[in-house]
Amino acid sequence: MTRRPRRNHTPAFKAKVALAAVKGEKTLAELAQQYDVHPNQITTWKAQLLDGAAGVFGSEKAEPTTPVVDVKTLHAKIGELTLANDFLEGALGKAGLPSARR
């Protein structure tokens, strides 16, 4: 008996199968045979659909949170790093070692 290669189902297919399971017109075994999917997978997709159904109606809008960027702090950090690089480049030159810049 050979194993079937792993399949990736599209979100549209998953939604279609989960909605058919929610309707309850057919049993899980019938749906599994019709769509050629394991009944446990249908149960999982159905649970995901029911869990995420509230988000469809926008009861809670989750706006993407962008971190507040302090430009002055970033410029200060760039200055510190530039100063450190210049210092280390000078120290390498005095020691007779090749510079990291090419």
pTM over 0.85: no
pLDDT tens-place values along the chain, 102 residues long = 788 788 899 999 999 999 999 999 999 999 999 999 999 999 999 999 998 887 877 766 556 677 788 899 999 999 999 999 999 888 888 888 776 665
Q: According to the model, what pLDDT value does residue 62 have? A: 59
**Nearest residue to 18 (alpha-carbon basis) of 39, 1, 33, 3:** 39
Whole-angstrom distance, CA of residue 5 vs CA of residue 60: 39
Whole-angstrom distance, CA of residue 72 vs CA of residue 74: 5
